[in-house]
Amino acid sequence: MDMKHIARTIGILVAVTVVTFAGVRPVSASETATGTGLVECQVPVEGEILPLTLSVTHPVAVSWSIDPNSDTPFAAPDFFVENNSKVRIRTTVKSLAAVTAPVLSDPSEILLLDAAPAAMDWTSLNAEDSMRYIALGVFAREASGWDAGAHQTPAYAVEIDDTLLGSLAAGGSGSVGLTACHGLAISQSFCAAHTLVFTFSID
């Protein structure tokens, strides 16, 4: 795995930590140069350069909820991405997608389908489509530690393809928000799941 390019997955997945162990080659055996008057010898000077280990703290899972009875039906707490590395890093959303097979071991789980925000009139969806489609989006929360140029407008699941979320300085952290377009004609409680995949790389 290229240590400059580390992927992290959020959802019902396990985060993988990559560790690099540094080492220095031992001094090679010595030799003796002899001669008269002037003795010249060449000594190679060799260096070993190791890749930087990137360290990023992120939640193992995040959650959201929809309550069609509320004035603001979609609710999701922001979560933070923290750069523990010694250098500035780029945070990219590799993908955000609804799962295609049950993962929650919950009989109430329903496999939603991702749709574009403009694909339908969300407030007019019938019961069947309200429990079938969602447009889930992710964005960088303004003024929360991201460098200038962060993706502060939502990037939705169907359009995400290695979408740059933003950059974080060494030791910096940024807040990430979720948003969604969805139907309201929901006739029963159910669970659903997406998988969010981040990629972190040296900026």
Distance between CA atoms of residues 4 and 155, nearest Å: 24
pLDDT at 8: 58
Asked, for residue 44, whether it belongs to a domain, the answer is no
If 0-12 CB within 10 Å is exposed, 13-18 middle and 19+ buried, where does residue 196 land? buried
**Whole domain around residue 119: which residue ranges?**
5-15+52-202
Asked, for residue 47, whether it belongs to a domain, the answer is no
Q: Which two tokens stand for residue 191?
A: 């669970």
Asked, for residue 92, whether it belongs to a domain, the answer is yes
Least confident of 18-27, 32-41, 54-63, 187-196: 18-27
Residue 124: helix, strand or coil by DSSP? helix
Placement of tokens 């999701």 in the chain: 76
pLDDT at 68: 96
Q: How many domains does the chain fold into?
A: 1
Asked, for residue 142, whether it belongs to a domain, the answer is yes
Asked, for residue 20, whether it belongs to a domain, the answer is no
pLDDT at 20: 37
Q: Is the pLDDT of residue 132 over 60?
A: yes
Q: Is the pLDDT of residue 57 over 70?
A: yes
Distance between CA atoms of residues 170 and 50, nearest Å: 19
Asked, for residue 37, whether it belongs to a domain, the answer is no
What is the dihedral sign for C-alpha 92, 17, 1, 83? positive
Asked, for residue 25, whether it belongs to a domain, the answer is no
Q: What are the residue ranges of helices labelled H in the chain?
A: 127-130
pLDDT top residue among 11 and 120? 120
Asked, for residue 32, whether it belongs to a domain, the answer is no
pLDDT at 73: 97
Band of residue 154 on the pLDDT scale cut at 50, 70, 90: very high
Which residues sit opposite 45 in a β-bridge?
A: none
pLDDT at 28: 62
